[in-house]
Structure 1
Amino acid sequence: MSARRAFLDITPGETRGVVTLDGRPEHLLIRRDDDDPRLEPGARIAARVRKVEPAFASAFVDLGEGLEALLDFPPDRRPVEGQMLEVEVRSAPRPGKLAGVRASGPGEAPVRLLAPGPTVAERLARLVRSQDLVTGAEARRMADAAEEAALTEAHVLPGGGLVVIEPTRALVAVDVDLGPRKGPDPKSLVRQLNLAAIAETARLLRLKGLGGLVVIDLAGRGHDGTALLNAARNAFAADNPGVAFGPISRFGTLELTLPRRTRAAAEILLEPGGAPSDRTLAQRLVRRAESEAEAETGRVVKIQAGPGLARLAWPLVDRLAERMGARFDREVASDWPRDRFEITVP
Structure 2
Amino acid sequence: MTDRVIYLDRGVGETRGVLALDGRPERLLIHRDDDDPRLGLGARLIARVANLEPALATAFLDLGGGLEAIMPFKPEARPVRGAAIEVEIRSEPRDGKLATTRYLGAGEGAPRLLARPDGVAEALQRIARDAPIREDAQARVIADEAEAEALETLHPLPGGGTLAIEPTRALTAIDIDLGERKGGDAKRATRQANLAGLTEAARLLRLKGLGGIVVIDLAGRGHDGAALLAAARLAFAADNPGVAFGPISRFGTLELLIPRRTRPLLDRLRQPGGALSDRTLAQRLIRRLETEALAQPAARLTARCAPVVARETGPWMAALAARFGARLTLSEVADYPEDRIDVSAT
TM-score range, shorter chain: over 0.9
TM-superposed CA distance for 1:131, in Å, is: 6.4
Unpaired segments ≥5 residues, structure 2: none
TM-superposed CA distance for 1:75, in Å, is: 2.4
TM-superposed CA distance for 1:256, in Å, is: 0.2
Structure 2 match to 1:149? 149
Instruction: Establish whether residue 123 from structure 1 lines up as the match of residue 123 from structure 2.
Output: yes
TM-superposed CA distance for 1:133, in Å, is: 1.2
Instruction: Establish whether residue 108 from structure 1 lines up as the match of residue 108 from structure 2.
Output: yes
Aligned-pair identity in percent equals: 59
Structure 2 match to 1:318? 318
Structure 1 match to 2:257? 257
> Greater CA deviation, 112-121 or 319-328?
319-328
Structure 2 match to 1:90? 90
TM-superposed CA distance for 1:264, in Å, is: 0.9
| SS class of match (2:329) | strand
1:268-299 deviation per Cα after TM superposition (whole angstroms, max 9, x unaligned): 01111111111011000000000001111122
| SS class of match (1:174) | strand
Structure 1 match to 2:26? 26
Kept in 1: contact 2:45–2:88 (CA 8 A): yes
Structure 2 match to 1:309? 309
- Runs (4+) of structure 1 exceeding 6 A deviation are none
| SS class of match (2:2) | coil
Q: Give the Cα separation in 1 of the matches to 2:330 and 2:254.
A: 53
Unpaired segments ≥5 residues, structure 1: none
| SS class of match (2:7) | strand
1:129-156 deviation per Cα after TM superposition (whole angstroms, max 9, x unaligned): 1363111210100110011100101110
Structure 2 match to 1:173? 173
Structure 1 match to 2:337? 337
Q: Give the Cα separation in 2 of the matches to 1:102 and 1:255.
A: 26
1:301-339 deviation per Cα after TM superposition (whole angstroms, max 9, x unaligned): 112223221111122122012112222133232333333
Structure 2 match to 1:237? 237
Q: Give the Cα separation in 1 of the matches to 2:165 and 2:336.
A: 34
| SS class of match (1:298) | coil
TM-score after normalising by structure 2: 0.97
Counterpart code for 2:85: L
Counterpart code for 1:277: S
Counterpart code for 1:66: G
Q: Aligned residue pairs: how many?
A: 346
Structure 2 match to 1:270? 270
1:210-229 deviation per Cα after TM superposition (whole angstroms, max 9, x unaligned): 11110000011111111100
1:228-268 deviation per Cα after TM superposition (whole angstroms, max 9, x unaligned): 00111111111011110000001110000111111111110
TM-superposed CA distance for 1:24, in Å, is: 0.9
Structure 2 match to 1:51? 51
Counterpart code for 1:313: T
Q: Give the Cα separation in 2 of the matches to 1:196 and 1:324.
A: 47
Q: Give the Cα separation in 2 of the matches to 1:334 and 1:181.
A: 47
Counterpart code for 2:104: S
Counterpart code for 1:240: N
Q: Give the Cα separation in 1 of the matches to 2:68 and 2:306.
A: 36
RMSD of aligned Cα (Å): 1.2
| SS class of match (2:206) | helix
Counterpart code for 2:189: L
| SS class of match (1:81) | coil
Structure 2 match to 1:13? 13
5 Å matches for 1:178-257? 178-257=178-257
Q: Give the Cα separation in 2 of the matches to 1:26 and 1:55.
A: 39
Counterpart code for 2:100: G
1:2-48 deviation per Cα after TM superposition (whole angstroms, max 9, x unaligned): 22211111111111111111111111101111111111111100011
Structure 1 match to 2:299? 299
TM-score after normalising by structure 1: 0.97
Q: Give the Cα separation in 1 of the matches to 2:70 and 2:110.
A: 19
Instruction: Mark the CA change 1:320 to 1:131 in structure 2 (over 3 Å): closer, same or farther.
Output: farther
TM-superposed CA distance for 1:103, in Å, is: 0.7
